[in-house]
Amino acid sequence: MVTLSAVNSVSFSPDGKYVVSGSGDKSVKIWSTESGEVVRRLNGHTSDVNSVSFSPDGKYVVSGSGSGYRYDGNFKHSSDNSVKIWSTESGEVVRAWNGHIFAVMSVSFSPDGKYVVSGSDDESVKIWSTLKVGKSCVP
């Protein structure tokens, strides 16, 4: 498994057949652990993908993105401080949230798949309902 950009996050699928990666090239990729080949490329973020994780049933992937600083130390604002849920079958975004002010650095599904938690450089942790449509941050 070789990429052409920095890999920021990786996670195994629950059955171990796939690995998901999030990269500095703004992509989420799903790889076959058997062949080492990319089986699906998920495009839609407009900034670095910092964190990825499979849902407990393996049918979805959650990703978090955003960036704050260039390597030269100058501040760079990113408008894509988003959390997205993708269908592993279709490759389409099925849910997306934009509640963080700065980069989303970590994401994970709850054990039952009903929630996603995200942590950000804005010093906040948010819990999102995967069952509600729209902005569904749990207070």
Whether 108 is in a domain gets the answer yes
Rounded Cα gap, residues 14 and 134, in angstroms? 27
Residue 22 lies in a domain: yes
Structure tokens at 137: 């941050």
Range in 1-15, 26-40, 58-72, 96-110 with the lowest mean pLDDT: 58-72
d(CA 56, CA 15): 10
The total of structural domains in the chain comes to 1
Domain that holds residue 20: 7-138
Question: Is 24 within the bounds of a domain?
Answer: yes
| Cβ atoms 84, 93 nearer than 8 A | yes
In CATH, what number is assigned to the domain containing residue 56?
2.130.10.10
Q: Is residue 118 part of a domain?
A: yes
Supply the pTM of this predicted model. Answer: 0.85
Q: Residue 89 domain-assigned? A: yes
pLDDT digits (tens, 9 = 90+) for 65-108: 987 544 445 555 556 788 999 999 999 999 988 888 889 999 99
- 98 falls within a domain: yes
- Cβ neighbors of 35 (< 8 A, separation 6 or more) are none
| Per-residue model confidence as pLDDT tens digits over 34-58 | 999 999 999 999 889 999 999 999 9
CA dihedral 34, 40, 45, 46 (to 10 degrees): 100
Any domain includes 1: no
The helix/strand/coil state of 79 is coil
Asked if residue 2 belongs to a domain, the reply is no
